[in-house]
């Protein structure tokens, strides 16, 4: 006798899964997981651009150097003007006397004394100074020199040569009674003029040279600093993570 085995309908095991949980096929990665051999996103890589560092030395060094140059130009002009003003002040007569008047003047060969006249152009004059023969000499100037003091224009008339310092009587006259006034001063000091000229050109020249040197050095150093920063940034971004790429 044969009996067909029929599973009871509605049995407890109808439609139940097999023993244990279903397994993923071998070698297949779970859905959403990163593949083996690759780092998770962002792992081992910088999260943002590197912070910017200030390039040194700063531009302020260049600005300061050129400000020093501008200051040196001002100092040079002031030195030149001061030297000329000092020379004119020392050369101009401090007092005056009228034609035909005899005055006693103190002369010193170290001061390079000179007689100045303030008169209309073309006025003829003559001066005499008393002293030992040969010890006092009046000479025509080789160059025209004019100085202005207290609004009076003085023209160098005669150079006075004396052998020793002392007091000397001096008389000057004009032809046809022309109006004029005379005074004793000094020749323009060449050292004061030369010193002013040196200040005018030397001081600004040194300031300019300093500004150029500082500018070149700062620009070269800043260029090197930028290159080092760029190389460091490239190395940081180009370095592979621990899992390779």
Indicate the range of 37-41, 189-193, 217-221, 231-235 predicted with least confidence.
37-41
Q: Residue 177 falls within a domain, yes or no?
A: yes
Q: Residue 85 falls within a domain, yes or no?
A: no
Indicate the range of 1-10, 18-27, 38-47, 146-155 predicted with least confidence.
1-10
Comparison of pLDDT for 112 and 236, the residue scoring more: 112
Percent of the chain's residues with pLDDT above 70? 73
Domain of residue 105, residue span: 93-188
pLDDT given for residue 46 in this prediction: 52
Q: Residue 218 falls within a domain, yes or no?
A: no
Tell me how far the alpha carbon of residue 141 is from its chain's centroid.
42
Q: Residue 233 falls within a domain, yes or no?
A: no
DSSP state of 38: S
Comparison of pLDDT for 131 and 68, the residue scoring more: 68
pLDDT in tens, 19-52: 455 555 555 555 555 555 555 555 555 555 556 6
Q: Residue 86 falls within a domain, yes or no?
A: no
Q: Residue 144 falls within a domain, yes or no?
A: yes
Looking at the predicted structure, is the pLDDT value of residue 221 above 60? yes
Q: What gap in Å lies between CA 48 and CA 236, rounded to an integer?
A: 11
Q: What is the CATH number of the domain that holds 104?
A: 2.60.40
Q: What gap in Å lies between CA 94 and CA 90, rounded to an integer?
A: 9
Mean pLDDT for the stretch of residues 108-122: 90
Per residue in 60-85, is it b (16+ CB within 10 Å) or e — as a string?
Answer: ebbeebbebbeebbeebeebbeebbe
pLDDT given for residue 133 in this prediction: 65
The string of DSSP codes covering 148-217 is EETTEEEEEEEEEEESS-EEEEEEEEEGGG--EEEEEEEPPPHHHHHHHHHHHHHHHHHHHHHHHHHHHH
Q: Residue 166 falls within a domain, yes or no?
A: yes
- Among residues 101, 96, 94, 92, the alpha carbon closest in space to that of 169 is found at 101
Mean pLDDT for the stretch of residues 93-106: 92
What band does 167 get if pLDDT is binned at 50, 70 and 90? very high
Looking at the predicted structure, is the pLDDT value of residue 102 above 60? yes
Looking at the predicted structure, is the pLDDT value of residue 239 above 60? no
pLDDT in tens, 195-206: 778 888 999 999
Q: How many domains does the chain have?
A: 1
Q: pTM for this structure? A: 0.56
pLDDT given for residue 228 in this prediction: 85
Indicate the range of 45-49, 59-63, 137-141, 220-224 predicted with least confidence.
45-49
Q: Residue 128 falls within a domain, yes or no?
A: yes
Mean per-residue pLDDT of the chain: 79
């Amino acid at each position: 006798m044969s009996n067909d085995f029929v599973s009871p309908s509605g049995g407890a095991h109808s439609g139940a899964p097999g023993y244990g949980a279903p397994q993923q096929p071998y070698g297949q990665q779970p859905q959403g997981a990163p593949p083996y051999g690759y780092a998770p996103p962002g792992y081992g890589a910088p999260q943002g651009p590197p912070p910017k560092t200030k390039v040194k030395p700063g531009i302020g060094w260049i600005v300061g150097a050129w400000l020093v140059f501008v200051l040196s130009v001002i100092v040079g002009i002031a030195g030149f003007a001061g030297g000329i003003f000092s020379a004119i002040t020392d050369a101009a007569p401090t007092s005056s006397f009228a034609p035909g008047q005899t005055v006693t003047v103190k002369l010193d060969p170290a001061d390079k004394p000179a007689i100045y006249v303030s008169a209309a152009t073309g006025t003829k004059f003559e001066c005499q100074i008393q002293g030992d023969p040969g010890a006092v000499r009046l000479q025509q100037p080789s160059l025209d020199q004019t100085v202005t003091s207290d609004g009076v224009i003085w023209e160098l008339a005669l150079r006075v040569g004396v052998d020793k310092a002392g007091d000397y009587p001096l008389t000057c006259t004009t032809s046809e009674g022309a109006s004029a006034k005379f005074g004793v001063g000094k020749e323009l000091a060449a050292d004061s003029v030369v010193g002013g000229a040196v200040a005018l050109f030397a001081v600004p020249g040194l300031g300019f040279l300093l500004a150029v040197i500082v500018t070149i050095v700062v620009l070269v150093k800043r260029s090197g600093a930028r290159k080092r920063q760029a190389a460091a940034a490239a190395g940081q971004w180009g370095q592979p993570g621990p899992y390779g790429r």
